[in-house]
Amino acid sequence: MDRILSADGTPIAYRRQGDGPALVLVGGALSASAADAPLAALLAPRFTVLTYDRRGRGASGDAGPWSVAREAEDLAAVVGAAGAGASVFGMASGGALALEAVAAGLPVELLAVYEPPYTPGASGLLFKARCTARLHRLLAAGDRGGAVELFLSMTGVAEETAARMRRTTLWAELEAMAHTLAYDDALLGDGAVPVERFAAVAARTLVICGGFSSAPARAATRTLADALPRGRHRTLTGQMREVAPQVIAPVLADFFAKDVYAYRQAS
Cβ 104 vs Cβ 72: under 8 Å? yes
Cβ 223 vs Cβ 198: under 8 Å? no
What is the rounded CA–CA span in Å between residue 242 and residue 42?
16
pLDDT tens for 47-66 read 999 999 999 999 999 988 99
- Predicted TM-score (pTM) of this structure: 0.94
Question: What is the pLDDT at residue 265?
Answer: 53
> Across the chain, which distance is largest between two alpha carbons, in Å?
57
Q: How far apart are the first and last CA of the chain?
A: 27
The rounded percent of the chain whose pLDDT value lies above 90 is 93
pLDDT tens for 174-231 read 999 999 999 999 999 999 999 999 999 999 999 999 999 999 999 999 999 999 999 9
User: For residue 266, is pLDDT > 70?
Assistant: no
User: For residue 137, is pLDDT > 50?
Assistant: yes
Question: What is the pLDDT at residue 26?
Answer: 98
User: For residue 239, is pLDDT > 50?
Assistant: yes
Residue count (the chain): 267
Residue 94 to residues 97, 183, 242, 247: CA-CA distances in angstroms? Answer: 5, 11, 13, 19
Question: What is the pLDDT at residue 263?
Answer: 44
Instruction: Give the containing element (helix H, strand E) for 139.
Output: helix 122-140
